[in-house]
Amino acid sequence: MSVVQLENVSRWYGNVVAVNDISMTLEPGVTGLLGPNGAGKTTVLHMMAGFLAPSKGSVTIDNAPTWRNPGIYRTLGLVAEREAVHGFLTAYEFVLACAKMQKLPDPAAATRRALELVEMTSAQDRRIGTFSKGMRQRTRVAASLVHEPQVLLLDEPFNGMDPRQRVHMMELLHRLGDEGHTILFSSHILEEVEQLSGLVQVIVAGRLAASGDYRRIRRLMTNRPHVFAVQSSDDRRLAVALIGEKSVSGIEVEETGLTVRAADYGSFTRALPRIALGEGIRLRKVLPSDESLESVFSYLLEA
Amino acid sequence: MSTVAYITARGLFGRRRVLLLLPLPLLLVGLALICKAYDVSPDQWGQPVVVGLGLAVVLPVISLIVGTGVLGSEVDDGTIVHILTKPLPRRDIILAKLLVAAGVSAVTAAVPLFVVGALANSVRFGLALAVGAVAGAIAYSALFLLLSLVSRRPVLLGLAYILVWEGLLGRFVSGTRVLSIEQYVITIADKIAPTGMLDGKVSVPVAIVMTVIFALGGTIYAINRLGSFSVAGETS
């Protein structure tokens, strides 16, 4: 059982702050590190993995600093985002080399076990250079699992995987988490985290925006007001009708159409066509205008 | 350590870049053979071929190709991460890489230099050049290995060192010769087999001490740099 701890960690590059005063504790189980692209997820992971010194604060695994401490790689496995591998080696050779560099007592057995875990045994004697993205990814996971590390960090592990491989990887991570490993994976796709019921840490613009149970954060996100751009044959009459609807919390009338704020996504989208039909108004355009991931995250930041 | 050396060697010989190592030694031996076949006096071709091509170009350029290939290419494509995420002392990683780099450069440069030396003068002269080349390969490799860690453009920096520092400044500004590996190689080879063909500009103790300083200093500094190797935060 290992615990990864970040205490008041900041990291800046020149005068650009990439990570701003983040404190978090990762315990055994699966944790998702969530945030839009460029939020600082990779920087946090790199600091945890000992590939970057924190400008301020401390990053430790079981109280041992990760920076300038190669010994931590006995308890730590990293699957980096860059999928660079030694393409001239076969999957078996590559994982075996990792096992040997970990100085395992029986590298061959550990290699076979790791390749079985990621279902790569059938292709293990092919050169990695010939692999698809998903196969390469699984080979890299095998390589970082070969020494059965207590802590496993994965940077965007689901990128380039097909749905079946995704499910399989999720199951694998869950199994490892249930066995008492501390697993952290980063993702910029909310739905990926949905299947993992565990804890999430949400990073927005270098700051920790939310942290805790995924369901609670999900609720925060469904409660946020939704903004729609609506165009119709008679905007002003539609606005009058819509304001009587309970799920609508505000309407602006503009030259180009209406901007409608709804408190509840579901009931508003059901009510809108009904009201329009009842009033005999033709809807020309209904566009959810803030469904981008960034707006979801920034809402969390304000919440 | 052996695994790092094994992967490094596989990586070096698995890339097309290794073919770059062939033409220079062939050119060197070929030139010497042609001169020998046409019975040109070694006094005329010895110095330009041995020093001008062999020691000033073939040895440093081969060391540059190999020295930046063992580490710089892994830093470039990111595969270095797989080696760094292992509980290996950084010293072992650098020493394994240096061993491969120096070994490959030494063999690739020393063999043709031996042949040329033997053709130009005597087997003894050939051996002297080979010994000098091995010492030079070690010093150059340590330097270029270090360059791969301090710069994103190690090949460019290395070429600047060979062409500008050793080639150009070494000719006009006598002070720069004290920091020129080429000069150490010339002095060491000349000491072992004095022929008049080599004209060492630094003294023998300076040559030996400075070779050791380049090799040791480069290695120690490289170990230190690898210890605090940072991966730039790439967010796509």
Give the pLDDT confidence of B60-94 residue by residue, as tens digits.
999 999 999 999 988 988 899 999 999 999 999 99
Give the mean model confidence (pLDDT) for residues A59-74.
95
Would you give the distance in Å from CA B4 to the centre of its chain?
21
How many CB atoms sit inside 10 A of residue A69's CB?
Answer: 15
Does the structure show a pLDDT above 60 at A200? yes
Q: How confident is the model at residue B199 (pLDDT cuts 50, 70, 90)?
A: confident
Whole-number percent of chain B with pLDDT over 90: 78
CB contact under 8 A, B6 and A97: yes
Provide CB contacts within 8 A for A164, sequence distance 6+. none
Most confident stretch, A174-188, B73-87, B134-148: B134-148
Please report the pLDDT score of residue A141 as a whole number.
93
Q: What residues in B contact A145, CB-CB < 8 Å?
A: none
CB contact under 8 A, B89 and A84: no
3 state DSSP class of A51:
coil
Return the sign of the alpha-carbon dihedral for residues A269, A275, A280, A281.
negative
CB contact under 8 A, A82 and B81: yes
Which of A101, A104, A111 has the most B C-beta neighbours within 10 Å, making it the best mutation to test the interface with B? A101
CA distance A33 to A45: 9
Whole-number percent of chain A with pLDDT over 90: 56
Find the DSSP H helices in B151-203. Answer: 154-160, 170-172, 181-192
Does the structure show a pLDDT above 50 at B234? no
The minimal CB distance from B4 to the residues A67, A78, A101 is found for A101
CA distance B220 to B212: 12
pTM of the predicted model as reported, rounded to 2 decimal places: 0.84
* Contact yes or no for B88/B98 (Cβ under 8 A): no
Find the DSSP H helices in chain A. Answer: 41-48, 91-101, 107-117, 133-145, 163-178, 190-194, 214-223, 235-243, 265-279, 293-302
Give the mean model confidence (pLDDT) for residues A257-281.
88
Would you give the distance in Å from CA B35 to the centre of its chain?
26
Q: What residues in A contact B10, CB-CB < 8 Å?
A: 86, 88-89
Please report the pLDDT score of residue A293 as a whole number.
56
Does the structure show a pLDDT above 80 at A289? no
Which of B18, B86, B224 has the most A C-beta neighbours within 10 Å, making it the best mutation to test the interface with A? B86
Please report the pLDDT score of residue A184 as a whole number.
95
Q: What confidence tens digit (pLDDT) does each residue in A108-142 have?
A: 999 999 999 988 999 999 999 999 888 898 899 99
Whole-number percent of chain B with pLDDT over 70: 97
Lowest mean pLDDT among A104-113, A224-233, A288-297, B223-232: A288-297
Q: What confidence tens digit (pLDDT) does each residue in A91-103 have?
A: 999 999 999 999 9
Whole-number percent of chain A with pLDDT over 70: 90
How many residues would you count in chain B?
236
- For chain A, the average pLDDT equals 88
Chain A residue whose CA is closest to B93: A101
Q: How confident is the model at residue B115 (pLDDT cuts 50, 70, 90)?
A: very high
Provide CB contacts within 8 A for B31, sequence distance 6+. B45, B49, B53
CA distance A78 to A98: 12
**Residue A112 CA: distances (Å) to CA of A74, A87, A90, A166:** 19, 19, 13, 22
CA distance B162 to chain A (A): 30
Give the mean model confidence (pLDDT) for residues B125-154.
96
Q: What residues in B contact A76, CB-CB < 8 Å?
A: 85
Q: What residues in B contact A128, CB-CB < 8 Å?
A: none
Return the sign of the alpha-carbon dihedral for residues A206, B78, B6, A134.
positive
Closest CA to A124 of A99, A98, A89: A89
Q: How far apart are the first and last CA of chain B?
A: 34
Does the structure show a pLDDT above 50 at B235? no
The minimal CB distance from A86 to the residues B11, B227, B235 is found for B11
Please report the pLDDT score of residue B236 as a whole number.
33
ipTM: 0.90
Q: A-contacting residues of B 210-229, CB under 8 Å?
A: 227-229
Q: How confident is the model at residue A223 (pLDDT cuts 50, 70, 90)?
A: low
Please report the pLDDT score of residue A296 as a whole number.
66
Give the mean model confidence (pLDDT) for residues A31-45.
89
CA distance A204 to A295: 10
Please report the pLDDT score of residue A209 as a whole number.
84
Closest CA to A142 of A119, A126, A158: A119
CB contact under 8 A, A53 and B227: no
Does the structure show a pLDDT above 90 at A149? yes
3 state DSSP class of A7:
strand
Does the structure show a pLDDT above 50 at A205? yes
- DSSP letter assigned to residue A127: B
Q: How confident is the model at residue A38 (pLDDT cuts 50, 70, 90)?
A: confident
CB contact under 8 A, B87 and A53: no
Q: How confident is the model at residue A191 (pLDDT cuts 50, 70, 90)?
A: low
A29-34 vs A182-187, strand pairing mode: parallel
* Contact yes or no for B109/B25 (Cβ under 8 A): yes
CB contact under 8 A, A70 and B86: yes
Q: What confidence tens digit (pLDDT) does each residue in B2-43 have?
A: 899 999 999 998 878 888 899 999 999 999 999 999 988 888
